[in-house]
Amino acid sequence: MKKNILFLATVILFISCEKYAEPVAIITPSTGKATVQFFNAAVGTGKNLVYIDTKLLNKTLLNTNTVLPTNTMGYEVISGSHDLAVRDTTAGSLQSFLGFIHNFEANSSYTTFMYNNFSAIKQLTIKNNFVFPSDTVSLLRFANFLYNTTPLTGVDVYSVKKASNIFTNVAQNTVTDYIPYVSIASDTFRIFQTGTSTLITSSPASATSFNGFSTTFKRASSIVLSGMSTGTKTLSGFAQR
């Protein structure tokens, strides 16, 4: 049924400025260290600086729907427990301060997702488990950080190339495990309310279709749904390996 309605949704936009691009370098943690990257899915936030143990990590500001670092797949940190902080640099900003502690395991990769909205930012830090079934595939996962003041139902992620769902009932504010994904192939993803043929759309028109996604073999990537459930939504893609 979904296959028959995909091209009727004329309000679907491309990803606009949020095109998928793989970072230029893969970072393998040094012995006794870990790597961590940051993705900002929090609504209404911008101009953020990130600190670990009071040490500034970034000169490039972490705005909404962007990832840091921009040219590698993670900042290298010594394994163990660390204090992390994210704050807006804008004078008079109403954005809440985000501070948390996380224990990083040696020789591991992590992604910290910021989500919710500017007045009550939250975070979810996930260890990235890279298990490739063969040398000819990549890995893909989906993160649902669509914001609403009340809980939302889950979403399904439909692959046009496979003509089927590749993720089902992804709950709000969660990240799926990685699944094997065919390398090189170009695909389009569409987001539906779980168990239905209802595209997640709103007025104004929303980015609920990710067109032209592809990745190379032995890379791991995330697709992130963010924005307001009753307003503009964005699909973003970035790599972890």
- pLDDT at residue 139, as a whole number: 94
- pLDDT at residue 215, as a whole number: 79
Q: Are 116 and 202 in contact (CB under 8 A)?
A: no
Q: What is the mean pLDDT of residues 159-173?
A: 94
15-71 tens-digit pLDDT: 333 444 444 344 555 668 999 999 999 999 988 999 999 999 888 899 999 999 988
List all residues 6 or more positions away from 14 whose beta carbon is below 8 Å from its beta carbon.
Answer: 207, 209, 211
Cα separation, 140 vs 88, in Å, equals 30
Q: Is 197 left (phi over 0), alpha (psi -120 to 50) or beta?
A: alpha
Asked, as a colleague might, if the bond just before 180 is cis with ω within 30 of 0, I would say no
Cα separation, 47 vs 65, in Å, equals 12
- pLDDT at residue 182, as a whole number: 84
- pLDDT at residue 203, as a whole number: 41
- pLDDT at residue 4, as a whole number: 33
Q: What is the mean pLDDT of residues 84-93?
A: 89
210-232 tens-digit pLDDT: 777 777 888 999 999 999 988 88
Radius of gyration over alpha carbons of the chain, in Å? 18
182-210 tens-digit pLDDT: 886 788 899 999 999 888 854 444 456 67
Q: What pTM was estimated for this model as a whole?
A: 0.84
Nearest to 236 by CA among 18, 72, 43: 18
Nearest to 138 by CA among 180, 187, 189: 180
Burial 94-113 (b: 16+ CB within 10 A, else e): ebbebeeebebeeebbbbbb
Nearest to 147 by CA among 116, 178, 125, 169: 116
Q: Which helix (H) or strand (E) holds 4?
A: helix 2-5
- pLDDT at residue 134, as a whole number: 84
Q: pLDDT tier at 9 (50, 70, 90 boundaries)?
A: very low
- pLDDT at residue 99, as a whole number: 97
- pLDDT at residue 209, as a whole number: 64
Q: Are 65 and 40 in contact (CB under 8 A)?
A: yes
Burial 175-210 (b: 16+ CB within 10 A, else e): bbebeebbbeeebbbbbbebeeeebbbeeeebbbbb
